[in-house]
């Protein structure tokens, strides 16, 4: 086993027979990295995708952009936007479907949230210069925290792997996070704030890098000024949470519906069938 990995075994108590989960699995992280992730809310993996693995994702993203991007380009606001957001990627290209069980991300999700996890979604964000300013406001992905916190509130956890297909720098737009902000359950970022905020960390990483974040972490993407920028968001939650509501229902004839007709229990669980009792 490589030095930066370790094994975890979880027992799920009082479980239903049909439940699938790996009894023991190899986590692609050290125990110290997981502790840091729990405290800071983010974990950086530089150049996780390289060579052919990276170019296949870049090409699949470009194919999807060719197929669907124009529809979005026609309806852009004048002054500012997030760029182009494409959804339900696993339904649209087998290259994306390969990410469903990608161990460097999935094993960390299981180590942090328990063995029973499901896909929340796979989305692409493509931003480019020469148009309206393309950047994101400060935001977080899990928006359903009650204030005040009820005694039995279930905090929604999610991990979103931000997969960068281009170098992330001042030309394409760094990504910023506020370490520790995923634990702030009494506030949310003000709406439509694009400027720096106290405690932010500006991240610049080479193409193929992945930044895993807790879904509640405050983050933003800075403007894409000089070069096109492509990234994917691969998200997981515990099995008993629902998938992302964005983008409406998946295409009825998509690749995941086809896969579900004949697949193993793990695949079913990751795609949201079962996983609780």
Ligand X SMILES: O=C(O)CCC(=O)C(=O)O
The footprint of ligand X (CB under 6 A) covers 125, 136, 162, 175, 219, 221, 231, 233
Would you say 89 or 221 has its CB closer to ligand X?
221
Beta bridge partners of 177: 201, 219
Would you say 27 or 203 has its CB closer to ligand X?
203
Residue whose C-beta lies closest to ligand X? 221
Written as one string, the DSSP assignment of 85-104 is EE--GGGT-HHHHGGGG-HH
User: Smallest distance, Å, CB 139 to ligand X?
Assistant: 7
By three-state DSSP, how is residue 234 classified? strand
Tokens of 139: 């935001």
Tokens of 254: 């998509």
User: Smallest distance, Å, CB 15 to ligand X?
Assistant: 33
Would you say 27 or 122 has its CB closer to ligand X?
122
Q: 186 vs 151, 158, 181, 249, CA distance in Å? A: 14, 18, 10, 31
User: Smallest distance, Å, CB 160 to ligand X?
Assistant: 8
Would you say 111 or 142 has its CB closer to ligand X?
142
Would you say 21 or 42 has its CB closer to ligand X?
42
User: Smallest distance, Å, CB 125 to ligand X?
Assistant: 4
Question: Strands 117-127, 84-86: parallel, antiparallel or unpaired by DSSP?
Answer: antiparallel
CA contacts within 13 A on the Cβ side of 129: 11
User: Smallest distance, Å, CB 171 to ligand X?
Assistant: 14
State the DSSP H helix or E strand holding residue 6, giving kind and residue range, or none if neither. strand 6-9
By three-state DSSP, how is residue 37 classified? helix
User: Smallest distance, Å, CB 183 to ligand X?
Assistant: 19
Would you say 125 or 182 has its CB closer to ligand X?
125
**Phi-psi category of residue 235: left, alpha or beta, with phi > 0 → left and psi -120 to 50 → alpha:** beta
């Amino acid at each position: 086993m490589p030095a930066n990995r370790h094994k975890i075994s979880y027992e799920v108590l009082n479980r239903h027979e049909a439940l699938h989960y790996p009894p023991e699995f190899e986590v692609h992280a050290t125990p110290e990295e997981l502790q840091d992730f729990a405290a800071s809310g983010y974990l950086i993996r530089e150049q996780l995708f390289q060579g052919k693995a990276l170019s296949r994702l870049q090409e699949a993203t470009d194919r999807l952009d060719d197929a669907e991007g124009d529809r979005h380009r026609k309806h852009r606001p004048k002054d500012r936007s997030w760029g182009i957001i494409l959804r339900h990627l696993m339904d649209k290209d087998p290259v994306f479907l390969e990410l469903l069980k990608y161990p460097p991300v999935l094993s960390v999700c299981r180590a942090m949230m328990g063995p029973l996890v499901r896909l929340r979604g796979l989305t692409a964000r493509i931003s480019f210069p020469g148009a309206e300013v393309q950047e994101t406001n400060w935001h977080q992905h899990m928006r359903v925290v009650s204030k005040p916190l009820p005694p039995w509130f279930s905090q929604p956890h999610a991990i979103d792997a931000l997969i960068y297909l281009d170098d992330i720098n001042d030309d394409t737009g760094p990504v910023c996070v506020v370490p520790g902000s995923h634990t702030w359950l009494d506030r949310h970022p003000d709406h439509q704030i694009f400027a720096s905020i106290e405690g932010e960390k500006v991240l610049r990483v080479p193409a193929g890098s992945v930044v895993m974040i807790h879904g509640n972490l405050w983050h933003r993407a800075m403007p894409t000024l000089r070069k096109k920028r492509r990234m994917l968001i691969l998200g997981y939650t515990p099995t008993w949470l629902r998938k992302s509501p964005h983008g409406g229902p998946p295409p009825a004839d998509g690749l995941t519906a086809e896969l579900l007709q004949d697949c193993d229990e793990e695949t079913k669980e990751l795609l949201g069938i079962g996983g609780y009792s």
